[in-house]
Structure 1
Amino acid sequence: MSDLRANRVAEQMKKELGDIISRKIKDPRVGFVTVTDVHVTGDLQQAKVFISIYGDDAQQEETLVGLAKSKGFIRSEIGQRIRLRKTPEISFEIDEAIEYGNRIESILKDLNNES
């Protein structure tokens, strides 16, 4: 039961976070960000937000710093948009899955070209 609710809250947070980050955050350090996934714990206390950032490593670090500084504002916006007794603590992580998938694809392509 709580897993179903956590999944629904995570999907709602993913949608709202995309809107908040793209429209409400005015920090110049925050670049082009896509929210790829959100994992919420069963007790709805913690939310791990996976993001994909366009740019090199320096731009990604700057964006993470900007998002960390905006965490309080983002959390209050989420609290206003989603009706929960307590808004989850948010942590941001770069989603490595896309880069990992691209690396696997290029390795497979190289193997096929060698054959």
Structure 2
Amino acid sequence: MAKIRVSRVGEQIKKEIVDIVRTEVKDPRVGFVTITDVEASGDLQHANVYVSVLGDESKRNGTMDALNKASGFIRSEVGRRIRLRRTPELHFKLDTSIDYSTRISEVLRDIKGDESNESNAEPEAGV
């Protein structure tokens, strides 16, 4: 029962953070950001916020610095919007799973392309 509540609170925190980052964070370093997941601890004291950032490494670092600097403001806004006994401490973490899955897709596409080239070359050599 407690795990269900924690996941529901995490989803609500995620919705509010998405809205806050989109409308109220005015830092120009915050680029194209996607909040991919929020994992709240069992006692709701801490929450890991996983963030995916579009752009190169310098944009990612700038965005992460801006989000970490604005974490107090974001936490206070979340606390104002969601009535909890204690608002969780927010820890922003870069989510690289999208980059990883893109890389795997590229490798698989290359392998499939190599196999189709080899299968096309084999009948010609046998004739």
The normalised TM-score by structure 1 is 0.97
Query: Helix, strand or coil: the match of 1:47?
Result: strand
Query: Which residue identity is paired with 2:87?
Result: T
Greater C-alpha Rg: 2
Summarize the alignment of residues 4-83 of structure 1 with structure 2, pairs less than 5 Å apart. 4-83=4-83
Structure (1 or 2) with the greater helix fraction: 2
Segments of structure 2 that go 5 or more residues without pairing to the other structure are 116-127
Q: CA deviation at 1:26?
A: 0.4
CA RMSD in angstroms, aligned pairs only: 0.7
Letter in 1 for 2:37: D
C-alpha displacement of 1:28: 1.2
Deviating beyond 4 angstroms after TM superposition, the runs of 4 or more aligned structure 1 residues are none
| Structure 1 gap ranges (5+) | none
1:73, distance to aligned residue in structure 2 (A) = 0.5
| Structure 1 SS opposite 2:109 | helix
Which structure has more RCO (C-alpha within 8 Å, separation ≥ 6)? 1
Report the TM-score when normalising by structure 2.
0.88
Between the aligned residues of both structures, percent identity stands at 50
Letter in 1 for 2:101: G
